Amino acid sequence: MMPNLEIIPIPSYKLVEESDDLLSILEESLGASEMEFEDDDILVIASKVVAVVEACIVSYSSIKPSKKAIELAKNAHMEPEFAQIILDESNGNYTGAVTGAITTFNKYGLLANAGADQSNSGKEKIILLPRNCKKSAENIHKRIFEKMKKYVGIIIADSRTTPLRLGTVGCALATYGFLSILDERGKNDLFGRPMHITVRAIADQLATAAEIVMGETDEMIPFAIIRGFPMIRISKDEEMDLNTLISPEECMFIGPYINKPNE
Amino acid sequence: MMPNLEIIPIPSYKLVEESDDLLSILEESLGASEMEFEDDDILVIASKVVAVVEACIVSYSSIKPSKKAIELAKNAHMEPEFAQIILDESNGNYTGAVTGAITTFNKYGLLANAGADQSNSGKEKIILLPRNCKKSAENIHKRIFEKMKKYVGIIIADSRTTPLRLGTVGCALATYGFLSILDERGKNDLFGRPMHITVRAIADQLATAAEIVMGETDEMIPFAIIRGFPMIRISKDEEMDLNTLISPEECMFIGPYINKPNE
């Protein structure tokens, strides 16, 4: 029986800055919300605050746009410096541009502008994605366990758009400590017929649920706790076997443009 | 201040069948869960049970696959009859196939197999998407208000996959009674800089949060209540102005393949 889920926003007690320690910010913010972790809570952290404390930030003035960046910037209606940062962050792996977005591939998947973001970054600065979200998730999990003696699943979450739909949903850049994909292939449906393609993107679903309470503009809510999810704890070794990304050829949105069926 | 959200699964007290009345099923199921609606709850309903009570079901034996369907079925490694149903349901609007999925366009967006589903449908039968989810959402909203005197927002939800990612998340096929897109363009970020591209897909986020507790295989949980979301009630006239779909040209995933930038 699935229990009720609770999604609890934890506002930051201060604006997060480059020199800050994320666990200290979290502890103080929990205190201000009069909250404590319970075992098997899931903590969702906005990737942006991870990037800020890890100083994954570049300033416009340090950037010299290439000819390629100038051309892409024109197609995407953005500043050439921003396009250059996107090219650098994606190692040049992009499919093209629409207004406001260059569509890129990197280790975090297929995403707008390689995750580089001008919002909430201050003038003349761009916040990039954290260098290694998996490592950051592992660190925060371990430090919470050491200090608070609670086993907490971690999600580092970002926003994404979905094909042909208006607006953003959540996405898990990395997880730590729990099974993030629920593979139901082999399970039976209501009529006892085996399910063939059902794999549930648990971590993306939880990241999205957290995004509902975290907001995106000036709410200053970089954390959310999800309580009541029947999380399956996994060890590091098991975690390493999981891959939440599929290849472009397998992807129903991109695959058809790569492997055109015979006409 | 954003309150805590609660996501409450409501299992069906029986297996939903073609002759059933959805409001009666809901009432009995709420009773079995000892739950009552509160004003401004959001009720998420699995599109599959809407399709079943509306008899949006076809049987394999009634289908004669065309040459096109046979060819597409080969590319997608599926039965030709299923490919024919997908072609019919999408009016032939598809981008191509990968293993297990033909990628189609219809009024519900860009989706696998036009939403036609072999799971939980019984042998030799395929469940289609409901014909008019907007109308179905409006009906259930009005009937709940008449019988229970509570103002409840409605989402009819389906599963979707996202580009390059493994697993399904939720998607709102239709909503009724509340603002389903939160447009934050024009709002300021933390540094007072206007946000340019932030539009939050509230209904998709809520559909996804509900999917966490609803599951997909044999859990028989076609309903979930979301409590605590600061929903903005809207009238029918306002609702009609909203469109949660964007054009393929604007879509960062599909647009680049349609409008290739100058190389």
| Mean pLDDT taken over chain B | 88
- In chain B, the largest separation of any two C-alpha atoms, in whole Å, equals 62
Output the pLDDT for position A121.
57
Contact A254 B218 (CB under 8 A): no
CATH number of B57-128: 3.90.1660.10
A109 touches chain B (CB under 8 A): yes
- Planar angle of CA B39, B140, A190, nearest 5 degrees: 110
Would you place residue B208 in the very low, low, confident or very high pLDDT band (cuts 50, 70, 90)?
Answer: very high
The torsion region of residue A202 among left (phi > 0), alpha (psi -120 to 50) and beta comes to alpha
| Residues ≥6 apart with Cβ < 8 Å to B16 | B22, B25, B49, B52, B53, B222
Segment B122-166, tens digit of pLDDT = 558 899 999 999 999 999 999 999 999 999 999 999 999 999 999
Average pLDDT over residues B83-90: 96
Output the pLDDT for position A263.
40
Cα separations in angstroms, B5 against A2, A226, B8, B258? 16, 10, 10, 40
CA distance A102 to chain B (A): 7
Average pLDDT over residues B190-195: 53
**In the A/B pair of chains, how many CB contacts fall below 8 A?**
302
Output the pLDDT for position B124.
81
**Neighboring chain A residues of B90 at a CB cutoff of 8 Å:** none
B80 touches chain A (CB under 8 A): no
CA distance A213 to chain B (A): 6
Distance from C-alpha of B22 to C-alpha of A231, rounded to nearest angstrom: 32
From the number of C-beta atoms within 10 Å of its C-beta (0-12, 13-18, 19+), residue A230 rates as exposed
Phi, psi of A11 (to 5 degrees): -65, 150
Q: Which of A170, A187, A221 sits opposite B217 (nearest CB)?
A: A187
- A219: tokens are 């709410």
**Neighboring chain A residues of B225 at a CB cutoff of 8 Å:** none
Contact A5 B2 (CB under 8 A): no
Average pLDDT over residues B199-219: 86
Contact B218 A187 (CB under 8 A): yes
Segment A164-199, tens digit of pLDDT = 999 999 999 999 999 988 776 666 555 555 555 578
Cα separations in angstroms, A21 against A196, B136, B233? 45, 50, 41
Output the pLDDT for position B3.
82
Chain B residue with the nearest C-alpha to that of A67: B263
Q: Which of B100, B122, B195 sits opposite A217 (nearest CB)?
A: B195
Chain A residue with the nearest C-alpha to that of B71: A262
Distance from C-alpha of A261 to C-alpha of A246, rounded to nearest angstrom: 20
Rounded to 10°, the helix A202-214/B202-214 angle is 130
A1-55+130-245: CATH topology is 60s Ribosomal Protein L30; Chain: A; (3.30.1330)
B65 touches chain A (CB under 8 A): no
Contact B189 A213 (CB under 8 A): no
Closest CA to B200 of A127, A109, A43, A119: A119
Output the pLDDT for position A235.
76
Closest CA to A180 of A129, A231, A228, A122: A231
Say yes or no to pLDDT of B241 above 70. Answer: no
Contact B165 A105 (CB under 8 A): no
Output the pLDDT for position A261.
46
- The residue ranges of every structural domain in chain A are 1-55+130-245, 57-128
CATH number of B1-54+130-234: 3.30.1330.100
User: In chain A, which residues have pLDDT < 70?
Assistant: 1, 119-123, 184-197, 216-219, 236-242, 259-263
